[in-house]
Chains A and B, each alone.
Chain A
């Protein structure tokens, strides 16, 4: 299980970083989403990996740490809100500027202006 989780985090992060380094808004938004998935799984792993354990003390023999689950919940809510915000903002910027490039070039040299 450790290997599987580690691989999942690694692949998600690598893909996320790769997409983040693109210059268009859509890949960057995707990359940010993948990074947030990666970090959510990572926080889970920080409370030690257990299978079939409950986060309630006294309910079973094997218990798992409930705090990372609460942290992940917070992180999911925040990253979900942030993703929707950045999508709206990117859309507004695209409709206003006519380009979805992230880098700001000097005026007059936007090779791919126009939609």
Chain B
């Protein structure tokens, strides 16, 4: 599997560039290339998932640069799961966009879509935290283009908000990374995990600052209160298929939280001492409440669904904030489920807009083909609210079981169960207004707040049906999926295998150091140079002493 790890990043990068350069004005070949790339990505990621399911952690050194210095991509169970979910959703949403003609509303949809996928896969696979920032930027740049795809007054204004919010977030990310580098002198996540364990006490305050800053950045992506303000406008104003794809973008925030706070800053780390849990727990409790109350307050279905996404992100982070094996396993199951449910709901919003011209919740004339759409809405809403028999219920059940071990379980139970009820009320209200109530001519006109829709094509409905079928499949296969997420969680809480895969065993490292020192001695003899240099030269030198000094020039040599 060695070189296949990089394929999910390379395939969309190449295809995206090809689409821009050679297929600019040819709709058919754009569609063929985009869909072919997405199908190939599903195949590759499923193969990666099968390979990672064995429990092996595989590390891929880009350009064969040694691990703490070069950039590595790492495939473990968590990243394999995330890339597979992304690839499957990416294919479904792209098929929907093609079927409904959304891709022809503006230029360069297919290229941007491929770059978006590239950024998502890269962020999920990388083992280097600065590289994580770079892939975040790639996925954000593509998402700016997709969010404003098709243009329009309100969408552009929403786009400006979204871009500015995220630019501020990127700046914060850079501040966090600067602090991180100042404390640790490394950016490789496995290396950081090792160094965090042996950090001198004097640096712990700075480490706490780093951990908190990074958390802010990640929850901004994950739309956790109070960083959620960008989400409702963005999701309601973006083209609906794009919002459906964005359902996985918030999950990148959740992924980063899970990765960084189990690997680098686990909750038991001296100096962290439960800091992350203390922040994440109350914030996610309030987020669930705010999101679900937003469901009741939304005046268009698009906003109702946007707030339900906030609510589900809150639920997800609530399970993550247990930082227990059972909790994170439940969170991962719920992550798959909420991605699919949110995507299905946004596609339903699009189908509704195609018939009505808007998704405002007011009484109006019956529409053609409402029966099927109503049935689909019913299924998706049940899934989102977390009612039996669908996967939302399984996810929440797993969560409640995990909460029992915590001393705040009363809060967890009250919020999760209470908000499920409120979500149910909110979705019932929306559904009955949209599909059942008779026309009321005296009602005020809907707000001109809305995005235009794709065509009401039967193929679009077929894709929508497939997304719903995926939710059903997730429910039926909840046994194997839960076993996989449990194994993932166990792997996350034993990060030694990850560190070992990236950095190698201590013996291998020692052997490599010896070889490097030899090579360097040869280098010094060649140039007749005095290789000694002051220890005040760099921070890394302070931390790692002579072995580190010996290693740096040796790696530079390799590049020549």
Contacts and interface: CB of A to CB of B under 8 A. Distances in A.
A56 to B, nearest CB: 9
A49 B44 CA distance: 46
A62 B534 contact: yes
A46 interface: yes
Contact of B134 (A74, A85, A90, A106): A74
Contacts of A11: none
Interface stretch (B23-31, B172-180, B394-402): B172-180
Contact of B531 (A25, A58, A92): A58
Contact of B182 (A39, A46, A62, A104): A46
Given A28-B164, A64-B537, A107-B448, A97 B156 contact: yes
Contact of A68 (B148, B156, B164, B181): B181
Nearest to B447: A107
Nearest to B144: A85
A48 B538 contact: yes
Nearest to B168: A20
Contacts, number: 129
A43 to B, nearest CB: 4
B141 A82 contact: yes
Contacts of B534: 61-63
Interface residues of B, number: 48
B167 interface: yes
A4 to B, nearest CB: 18
B148 A89 contact: yes
Given A58-B529, A71-B130, A89-B159, A42 B178 contact: yes
Nearest to B136: A78
Given A58-B529, A93-B156, A65 B170 contact: no
A101 B350 CA distance: 28
Nearest to B171: A35
A45 interface: yes
Contact of A96 (B156, B524, B527, B539): B156
Contact of B163 (A57, A64, A78, A89): A89
A25 B160 CA distance: 8
Contacts of B233: 104
Contacts of A103: 161
B175 A42 contact: yes
Given A58-B533, A63-B538, A102 B164 contact: yes
B560 interface: no
B552 interface: yes
A68 B533 CA distance: 19
Nearest to A58: B529
A76 B141 CA distance: 15
A39 B174 contact: yes
B431 interface: no
B158 A57 contact: no
Interface in B406-431: none
A32 B171 contact: yes
B101 interface: no
B178 A97 contact: no
Interface in B522-546: 524, 527, 529-531, 533-534, 537-540
A93 B141 contact: no
Contacts of A71: 130, 177-178, 181
B436 interface: no
A46 B159 contact: no
A67 interface: yes
A5 interface: no
A82 B163 CA distance: 9
B152 A96 contact: yes
Interface in A32-64: 32, 35-36, 39, 42-43, 45-48, 50, 53, 57-58, 61-64
A111 interface: no
A6 interface: no
A81 B170 CA distance: 13
9 contacts: A20-B164, A35-B168, A47-B182, A58-B553, A61-B533, A82-B167, A96-B157, A97-B154, A106-B447
Interface of A: 20, 25, 28, 32, 35-36, 39, 42-43, 45-48, 50, 53, 57-58, 61-65, 67-68, 71, 74-75, 78-79, 81-82, 85-86, 89-90, 92-93, 96-97, 102-104, 106-107
Given A46-B181, A58-B533, A90-B160, 13 more contacts: A43-B174, A63-B534, A68-B181, A71-B130, A74-B130, A74-B134, A82-B137, A82-B170, A86-B167, A89-B144, A89-B148, A93-B159, A103-B161
